[in-house]
Amino acid sequence: MPEHFLGIDLGSSYTKLAVLDGSGAAVHAAVLPTRSRRRDDFERELAAIRERFAIRRVCATGYGRRSVASDLQKTELVCAAAGLALAHPGRKCILDIGGEDIKVIEADADGGVVDFCMNDKCAAGTGAFLVEIANRAELDLGEMSALSRQSASERVMNSFCTVFAMSEILGWKLGGVSAEEMARGIYLAVVDRVRRLPIRRELPLFLCGGVIAYHPALADLLRDNIHADVQIAERPQYAAAFGAAALARGAGGGLER
């Protein structure tokens, strides 16, 4: 069988698996919840991949990268830059909004990391933030984009702290703020958070991560409010997983960290 290369991005909320063939073409992708009680689902998916493809090397990334057997282990920063280089060559900035952090990565033309910034001390604007606040607002996460597009309000949640934001949402509900206006206001809070990050606006800005994959209206608001060439990466939730697979494909023998 032809050789294939597996990338595993074991994030705080979801685990993404991606396979590249020997030419670097994407041939498989899957996503599963990251939960210890769902370990059997992960093992079944991994077994199905190994049965279907002749996996030569595996690269793991994400928070749980040390918990899976792999030939290489790389940070999400390195893998996101490598993943974006597959479909979007050239110098760029990358905005990766994940389950528990936001990363801004400056990448060179070869997919290497030049510089980066993370909001690793606060979950404001992350997937976890959206889940908690949407739950308090009694909004269905899957309907937030559609709801927000029905409002033109500039009302924005002022609280970055999740605890204070939940209190602010309660005030909105008691004040009769509509679901549409709340959805847009929550997204605008994320936009406000992103605007404070050191983004090289003269470079194209590619959005990736699970939040962008499931909240397209947020991407629209980022385009409207950030003075940069904002684009959504191809298969945004799998950027780091495909980057990990690409690094596995390009690596030599031996275990790397």
Q: Matching CATH topology for 3-84+238-250 and 89-233?
A: yes
Q: Which two tokens stand for residue 256?
A: 């790397």
pLDDT value for 252: 47
CATH number of the structural domain 3-84+238-250: 3.30.420.40
pTM of the model: 0.90
Q: Are 104 and 148 in contact (CB under 8 A)?
A: no
Residues 6+ apart with CB under 8 A from 253: none
Say how far apart CA 245 and CA 91 lie, in whole Å: 21
pLDDT value for 148: 97
Indicate the domain borders of the chain: 3-84+238-250, 89-233
CATH number of the structural domain 89-233: 3.30.420.40
pLDDT value for 161: 73
Beta bridge partners of 59: 7, 72
pLDDT value for 48: 97
pLDDT in tens, the chain (257 residues): 799 999 999 998 899 999 999 999 999 999 999 866 667 889 999 999 999 999 999 999 998 999 999 999 999 999 999 999 999 999 999 999 988 889 999 999 999 999 999 875 566 778 888 998 999 999 999 999 999 999 999 999 887 677 778 889 999 999 999 999 999 999 999 999 898 899 999 999 999 999 999 999 999 999 999 989 999 999 999 999 999 999 999 974 433 44
